[in-house]
Amino acid sequence: MTDHPGSLPAPEFSRFVSADAVRRADLTETIEATESERRRLAERLELESIDRLTATIRLRAVRGGQMIRVSGRLEADVVQTCVVSLDPVPAHVDERFEALFAPESLIEDPGAEIDIDPYESDEDAPEPMINNRIDIGELTAQHLSLGLDPYPRAGGADFAGYDEDAGGEGAEGAAAAEPEEPQKPNPFAVLGQLKNRS
């Protein structure tokens, strides 16, 4: 179930579900990353650690059974790195997500007509299934990445304060440290000197 078909390397957190099983009946899956999976996924997402990662995924067939809609909620406890001080920043991620999957043949065939249901909320193009399977683990990992704070900061850390700790005095210290530009000669003053000489 965790083997990734094809020549691509296996994702760090992989859980496959058969589309045929979903077409027979709606499925709800609860998945949890192992310690090894969390460690490798943390490296990929450039996190200090992922202490917990779970997700509850609901899959159902839509559009006449052609496609599979995935609705999920993930929860994760992670440790990021402060962009100012590089200190560890613990964070809890609670993210809901949706995705639509279709067979590769349906997506790759430019002449295929995809029946769009106006009542379906998903506006994105469907993602391709892999050998008629959906990797809900990798989907969870992708949405974990989207749910992370792009600029994590430790409590009380700000760029001005960090400048002071580094030996400056915030923005004022940075301005004082910059060398003064030499004054440019005033062209009118030069003309006045020439006039006085004459």
Query: How does DSSP assign 138-173, residue by residue?
Result: HHHHHHHHHHS-SS---TT--HHHHHHHTTSBHHHH
- Residue 136 included in any domain: yes
Please tell me the total count of domains within the chain: 1
Please identify which residue in the block is written with the tokens 């006449």: 64
Secondary structure class of 120 (helix, strand, coil):
coil
Q: Is position 8 within any domain?
A: no
- pLDDT(188) > 90: no
Inside any domain, residue 49: yes
- Mean pLDDT confidence for 132-159: 91
Do 2 and 16 form a contact (C-beta atoms < 8 A)? yes
Amino acid at 191: L
Q: pLDDT (tens digit, 9 = 90+) per residue, 25-68?
A: 999 999 999 999 999 999 999 999 999 999 999 999 998 899 99
At 68, give phi and psi (nearest 5°).
-120, 125
The range of the structural domain enclosing residue 37 comes to 16-147
71, 75, 81, 82: CA torsion to nearest 10: 90
CA distances from 81 to 3, 87, 160 (A): 31, 6, 18
Hey, what amino acid is at 188? F
> Is residue 163 one of the residues assigned to a domain?
no
β-pairing, 127-128 vs 88-102, is: parallel
pLDDT at 137 > cutoff 90: yes
pLDDT at 173: 43
Instruction: Give a yes or no: residue 138 inside a domain.
Output: yes
The pTM for the full model equals 0.71
